[in-house]
Structure 1
Amino acid sequence: MSVAAIAGQALPTWRRAVLKVGSNLLAADGGGLTTRYAEALAAFITASRAAGRQIVLVSSGAVAAGRSQLRAHAPSGSDLAARQALAALGQAPMIALWQSLSPRPVAQVLLTHDDVRNRRRYLNARATLRELLALDVLAVVNENDTVAVDELKLGDNDNLAAIVAALVDADLLLIASDIDALYSADPRQDSSAMPILRVDALTPDVLAMAGGSGSAVGTGGMHTKLEAAAKAAAAGIPTALFSGRNKDTVERLALDRLRGTWFAAGRSRMQARKYWLRHAPAAPGRVHVDAGAARALTSGRASLLPGGVLEVSGVFHRGDLVEIFDEAGRPIARGLSQYSQAEAKRLAGRHSRDIESLLGYSYGAEIVHRDDLATLADIESTGGIDA
């Protein structure tokens, strides 16, 4: 079945998305980087920005670019050291390709396993990406292959894109592929294979539809795309899979029309976030706030600022989950602290503008940002507080 024969469907409203573009679209013929398919994808990013939306790009292509730079001298093996060397060589031309297609500045963000597993480094990466979005910079994310080791690699960029989508609180994960949808079987081998336009749950039967890698230059196939969709769904983020090789399909995305497969999320992004904050183990630390801060926090629309903090107790570090109490000692919220217990004590009752002068540095104006906070009402709606 041709891509034109796949029925289009409306995309829900979204404000921020992560777009994953694979090597098979940037080095389509197995050689060096090309703008053949990247131009339409870059135009979609630009159109989305003009519509007031934000996109973080997860781009493959560094290894393929490095291999083409060396040509006949490129290592033929697939061992980790060779891929690391090729990735190091190819990062610059890969970023240069996207900069040549973008009317705004492009920034490179390289992530490792530790950056998303360690809470403090996770918050640092999150803060950096947030700031790049605020500065209207196109962030191009890739795994830092040059320092990764096999047992601690994030893996393919499909799964990395799902991790980044959760990291930046995206409303949508977009996966541009060399195939136009998920099919009931491999359409290259089975002429009766039919496109699946919507997947509400990634059951074993759905996973069985995935084959191996369809590209000589990529590390993933349909199976990794389904894994990514499952990770995104667990974070409350739906996924759209579409052909990045079809210009009309890409152009329709800017009109909120998907010609591909839609993977629904089991719950909303906010519900998933609050659920995690409700279940994650808290550090042995407490933050007590004044009446004004308690009212602001329980409204569900405010961050916890230093000025509202009365007392800090226990021991916790930057990135730890802490419990927040009102003046009467009643629990009102839980959230990820931007500052350690010692730092929060020094900042208690002070204005946010004084943070840098007091500490010599600043991780942000908030002790707990509203995106990293769940109120008691949020927690009760997801099942109550553990005893």
Structure 2
Amino acid sequence: MNSLKSDTRKGISTKKRIVIKVGTSSLTYSNGKINLRFMDHLARQISDLKNRGMQVILVTSGAIGVGYPELGFKEKPTYLPYKQASAAVGQGLLLNIYEHLFREYGHVVGQLLFTKGDAVNSKRYLHMRGTLLSLLELGAVPIVNENDAVTADEIKIGDNDTLSAIVASIAEADLLIILSDIDGLYTADPRKNPEAELIHEVPQFTRDIYQIAGGAGSSQGTGGMYTKIQAAEICVRSGIDMIIAKSSLPEVIERIMAGEELGTFFKGENVHPQLKKRDIIIGTAVKGKVFVDLGCRNAILKNGSSLLPVGITGIEGHFTEGDTVSVIYENEELARGITHYSSDDIEMIKGHHTKNLKSALGFEPPYDTVIHRDNLLVMK
């Protein structure tokens, strides 16, 4: 076990928003029973990060692994409806344990169940991101899992390694830590090649890395090294650092955050914040136009402001909440973004100050902004 502190990892201790992913093999024993000792260890370390002022999102596997023994199965079922039934039972059991453990350490948790559709549909993405960030802002620990109870193979994200990277990207996290039953990325499969060496750092991601990734991992889980490399590519391209490390190491999270050279470190690329928004905004069809005045134009371009109702002069097209729209000033496209309001609602609130939105709409406004700056891509 290497206890040296790497110069390239010195900045890890300053990270503010961390996503931690744990696999089924870490959460359960080989007989499918829950590893309560590990879960307590995990909750305590995350709680300590929270106490230091960090924001932490936990992406957890294990719903199917925890649920199938409760339904009388001796091994993980292969029949999809049985998997979904196992997940329906396991999700409740798993969250109940997490809730109890985190409460013992003084923290509140909130469960979020995602599907691939939540990440690629702009409206659901908007709500997904909003819920995640609100939980963090309010001091809770979001606990995320794929919604295995209702997803089918064609819409599944596929494994929680990929899910954790998507969550890290959506939340604009600083670091993703994937905890598993392996030490990290090796030069070859260590189960087959005794000469294989642990790669401590990947300073630049290349597609060649996939060539040394093997197949699936343990019988309990679904993700092997290949899915972890997929997760690393998502993170690196999004400007997020990522570490793969062995979950059973004592105080593994604490030691990683202290800069100790554990596992494999993937260095995130230097990505401009605006580019992180490009895929979700540019990748969807523009459904309408929102015209703004000079003051709004300057606020967006010079101050990095959100789009507020008071600066809107008109709209074009019919669109709904969650659609991508263009922001226009005098026939010039300034930006594109995901709108919180439909075209009908914007017609009612355009030109109004935030304090007057309730009277203009006739109900309590769900958002102060028409397009929040986090969901606004400046085109100029």
TM-score scaled to structure 1, two decimals? 0.88
- How far apart, CA to CA, are the structure 2 residues paired with 1:6 and 1:64? 35
Aligned positions of 1:90-169 closer than 5 A: 90-102=90-102, 103-169=106-172
What's the counterpart of residue 335 of structure 2?
333
CA displacement at 1:47 relative to structure 2: 2.2
What's the counterpart of residue 354 of structure 2?
352
Q: Is the 8 A contact 1:40 1:250 kept in 2?
A: no
Cα distance change of structure 1 residues 258 and 370 upon mapping to structure 2, 3 Å threshold? farther
What's the counterpart of residue 44 of structure 1?
45
> What letter is aligned with 1:163?
I
Question: The residue matched to 1:296 in structure 2 has which SS?
Answer: helix
Backbone CA RMSD of aligned residues: 2.3
1:289 aligns with 2:269: no
> What letter is aligned with 2:109?
V
Q: Is the 8 A contact 2:107 2:141 kept in 1?
A: yes
- How far apart, CA to CA, are the structure 2 residues paired with 1:272 and 1:250? 30
Segments of structure 2 that go 5 or more residues without pairing to the other structure are: none
Give the aligned length. 373
User: Percent of counterpart pairs with the same letter?
Assistant: 36
Q: Is the 8 A contact 2:63 2:90 kept in 1?
A: yes
Question: The residue matched to 1:208 in structure 2 has which SS?
Answer: helix
What's the counterpart of residue 193 of structure 2?
190
Q: Is the 8 A contact 1:75 1:82 kept in 2?
A: no
- How far apart, CA to CA, are the structure 1 residues paired with 2:95 and 2:40? 14
- How far apart, CA to CA, are the structure 1 residues paired with 2:186 and 2:225? 10
CA displacement at 1:258 relative to structure 2: 4.6
> What letter is aligned with 2:91?
Q
1:218 aligns with 2:221: yes
Cα distance change of structure 1 residues 257 and 4 upon mapping to structure 2, 3 Å threshold? closer
Q: Is the 8 A contact 1:25 1:177 kept in 2?
A: yes
What's the counterpart of residue 34 of structure 1?
35
> What letter is aligned with 1:190?
N
- How far apart, CA to CA, are the structure 1 residues paired with 2:119 and 2:277? 19
Segments of structure 1 that go 5 or more residues without pairing to the other structure are: 381-387
Cα distance change of structure 1 residues 301 and 104 upon mapping to structure 2, 3 Å threshold? same
- How far apart, CA to CA, are the structure 1 residues paired with 2:49 and 2:236? 23
> What letter is aligned with 2:42?
L
CA displacement at 1:154 relative to structure 2: 1.2
- How far apart, CA to CA, are the structure 2 residues paired with 1:269 and 1:178? 34
Deviations 1:143-200 (A, max 9, x none): 1111111111111000111111122221222111111211111222222111112224
What's the counterpart of residue 83 of structure 2?
83
Aligned positions of 1:181-330 closer than 5 A: 181-268=184-271, 270-276=273-279, 279-280=282-283, 282-326=285-329, 328-330=330-332
Q: Is the 8 A contact 1:40 1:251 kept in 2?
A: no
Q: Is the 8 A contact 2:291 2:313 kept in 1?
A: yes
- How far apart, CA to CA, are the structure 2 residues paired with 1:215 and 1:313? 54
Deviations 1:111-157 (A, max 9, x none): 12322222111111111112111211111111111111111111100
Q: Is the 8 A contact 2:65 2:76 kept in 1?
A: no
TM-score scaled to structure 2, two decimals? 0.90
- How far apart, CA to CA, are the structure 1 residues paired with 2:133 and 2:272? 17
Cα distance change of structure 1 residues 235 and 262 upon mapping to structure 2, 3 Å threshold? same
Q: Is the 8 A contact 1:32 1:65 kept in 2?
A: yes
